[in-house]
Amino acid sequence: MALCPQCNQATSLSSDNAWRPFCSERCKLLDLGEWFGERYTVPVDNLEGDLLQDEDGTLQ
Ligand SMILES: [Zn+2]
C-alpha cells in the first residue's frame, strides 16, 4: 500500500491499478496539469516581464 502523490489517500501500486502511483484518473490528470501548468507559466511570466521592462525603457 502506498499514498497517492496527489491527494495522499491510500492507493495501490500493483498492476491492477491503471492510474498508479495515483489512486484515480482524476489525480493523475491533476498532477499532469500542475506539471504542465508550471512549465508553461514560467516562460510566459518571463516574457511579460521583458515586455514591461521594454515599455518602461521607452517611456523614460
Ligand atoms: Zn489520489
Task: Report the pLDDT averaged over residues 25-30.
Answer: 93
**What H or E segment, with its residue span, contains residue 31?**
helix 25-59
Residue-level pLDDT at 35: 72
Q: What is the CATH number of the domain that holds 43?
A: 3.30.50.10
Distance from the CA of 24 to the center of ligand 1, in angstroms? Answer: 6
Q: pLDDT of 6-21, one tens digit each?
A: 999 999 999 999 999 9
pLDDT band at 34 (very low <50, low <70, confident <90, very high): confident
Residues at the annotated binding site for Zn(2+)?
A: 4, 7, 23, 27
Sign of CA dihedral 19, 25, 31, 33: positive
Residues of the domain holding 30: 2-59
Kindly give the distance from the C-alpha atom of residue 41 to the centroid of ligand 1, in angstroms, as a whole number: 24
17: Cβ contacts below 8 Å, ≥ 6 apart: 11, 23
pLDDT for residue 14: 94
pLDDT in tens, 39-58: 655 555 555 556 555 666 66
Q: Number of structural domains, the chain?
A: 1
